């Protein structure tokens, strides 16, 4: 297991208070805020953070579209450069989080055009090797304040989409991980229900693909078990009562725990790999990718080996049931989509998704061997 450079996690404190304290701790003088547009313009949450920072606040920027297109990330980097930022704070969902971490990498490498992203992106060779060309990390640190449950704020890996190829690609360095993550459940009340629940299922998928992995271990499995139980309790609670802050915090801690094993080195499988392509290429919301794919992938895995599935079902409160069935019922109970047709992906896109999936870092790392695009097509057709 390996770990990132995140030093602190604030649990349950107001975001503005925690950010000011960390900025002072680091001696920051030019704090740049990268915020979700809705949070910035339709709530007072970003304004509270700006007020708490006072003279330390240098600038605020918004405008990151879903799946973090390169052009949007570059524009944010240009704004941070113009502000002479020495600390970046992200406040928002997964795309804002990803963008903020990549911004620090772009500044370090003096990237001033979208073509400049290319030498920095992680790629997969024809024989399946994952190559990360980044050797020098950013000097500017980030603080991440997530308002969704995908968990990317804990990861040194971030994704941005190449608009030319419509391919979402990864960027990674240990120093890209935030110095602090702020879990403020009160701030998440502004997150639309569908987004909160669907990204929660994304973290469910982190835990499920850890527990299903033949490359996991007792440490990782224990974290994934706890994460899945917290999410299985918290997500229905918040759906029943959006003002249940304890339920929201359980979800946030579950999302955090679900990420530790991924960060530590346990690879995810086809659900995540396919999901990256459905998002960046087919414009499916990030969380919906797992809502659709997770049960079908586990059913496909079970045809090869279901020996690690009992714990998944138990965590979902359905001991003895097939993991794919328990997952399907849980996701349907949250009112989330369950087929590719429901999220606007028809069979005419399947070959492209399958081909791109093989280029993903997790395209061939699941417990059932993936040898060609035909294997991915089998899963996609079951999810049609």
Assess whether 82 and 154 both reside in one domain: yes
Average pLDDT over residues 103-130: 94
Assess whether 249 and 326 both reside in one domain: yes
Assess whether 179 and 208 both reside in one domain: no
Using left for φ > 0, alpha for ψ between -120 and 50, and beta otherwise, residue 312 falls in alpha
Domain count for the chain: 2
Assess whether 152 and 226 both reside in one domain: no
Average pLDDT over residues 232-254: 98
Closest C-alpha to 197, from 333, 95, 312, 64: 333
Q: How confident is the model at residue 322 (pLDDT cuts 50, 70, 90)?
A: very high
Determine which helix (DSSP H) or strand (DSSP E) holds 254, and give its type and residue range. helix 245-264
> Residue 229 domain-assigned?
yes
**Cβ atoms 328, 298 nearer than 8 A:** no
Assess whether 169 and 203 both reside in one domain: no
Give the domain-ending residue among 152, 186, 220.
Answer: 186
Q: State the DSSP string of 329-367.
A: HHHHHTT---STGGGT--GGGHHHHHHHHTTSTTTT-SS
- Separation of alpha carbons 196 and 239, rounded Å: 9
Q: How confident is the model at residue 2 (pLDDT cuts 50, 70, 90)?
A: confident
Assess whether 205 and 262 both reside in one domain: yes
Please give the pLDDT value at position 167: 87
Tell me whether strands 31-35 and 57-62 are parallel, antiparallel or unpaired: parallel
pLDDT at residue 292 is higher than 90: yes
Mean pLDDT of the chain: 96
Give the domain-ending residue among 162, 186, 210.
Answer: 186
pLDDT at residue 370 is higher than 90: yes
- Separation of alpha carbons 363 and 361, rounded Å: 6
Give the domain-ending residue among 160, 186, 212.
Answer: 186
| Phi, psi (deg, nearest 5) at residue 142 | -125, 155
Closest C-alpha to 356, from 379, 332, 338, 373: 373
Model pTM above 0.85: yes
- N-to-C CA span, the chain: 36
Please give the pLDDT value at position 166: 87
> Residue 3 domain-assigned?
no
Assess whether 89 and 105 both reside in one domain: yes
Average pLDDT over residues 319-333: 98
Please give the pLDDT value at position 127: 81
List the domain range (segments joined by +) for residue 181. 8-186
Please give the pLDDT value at position 272: 96
């Amino acid at each position: 297991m390996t770990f990132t450079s995140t030093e602190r996690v604030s649990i349950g404190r107001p975001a503005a208070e925690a950010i000011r304290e960390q900025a002072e701790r680091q001696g920051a003088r030019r704090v740049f805020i990268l915020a979700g547009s809705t949070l910035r313009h339709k709530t007072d949450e970003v304004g509270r953070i700006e007020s708490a920072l006072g003279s330390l606040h240098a600038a605020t920027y918004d405008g990151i579209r879903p799946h973090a297109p390169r052009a949007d990330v570059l524009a944010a980097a240009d704004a941070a450069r113009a502000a002479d930022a020495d600390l970046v704070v992200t406040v928002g969902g997964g795309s804002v989080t990803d963008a903020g971490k990549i911004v620090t990498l772009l500044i370090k490498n003096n990237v001033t055009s979208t073509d400049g992203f290319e030498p920095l992106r992680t790629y997969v060779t024809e024989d399946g090797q994952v190559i990360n060309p980044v050797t020098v990390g950013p000097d500017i640190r980030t603080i991440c304040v997530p308002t969704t449950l995908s968990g990317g704020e804990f990861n040194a890996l971030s994704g941005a989409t190449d608009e030319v190829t419509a391919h979402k690609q990864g960027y990674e360095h240990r120093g890209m991980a935030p110095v602090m993550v702020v879990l403020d459940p009160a701030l998440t009340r502004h997150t639309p229900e569908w987004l909160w629940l669907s990204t929660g299922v994304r973290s469910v998928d982190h835990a499920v693909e850890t527990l299903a992995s033949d490359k996991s271990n007792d440490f990782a499995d224990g974290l994934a078990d706890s994460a899945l139980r917290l999410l299985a309790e918290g997500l229905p609670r918040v759906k029943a009562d959006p003002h249940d802050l304890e339920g929201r915090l359980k979800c946030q801690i579950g999302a955090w725990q679900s990420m530790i094993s991924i960060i530590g080195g346990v690879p995810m499988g086809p659900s995540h790999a396919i999901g990256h392509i459905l998002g960046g290429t087919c414009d499916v919301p990030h969380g919906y990718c797992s809502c659709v794919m997770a049960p079908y992938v586990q059913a496909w895995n079970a045809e090869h080996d279901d020996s690690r599935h009992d714990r998944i079902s138990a965590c979902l409160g359905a001991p003895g049931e097939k993991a794919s069935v328990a997952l399907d019922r849980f996701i349907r109970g949250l009112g989330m989509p369950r087929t590719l047709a429901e999220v606007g992906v028809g069979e005419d896109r399947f070959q492209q998704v399958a081909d791109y999936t093989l280029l993903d870092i997790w395209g061939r790392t699941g417990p059932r061997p993936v040898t060609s695009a035909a294997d991915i097509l089998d899963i996609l057709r079951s999810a049609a």
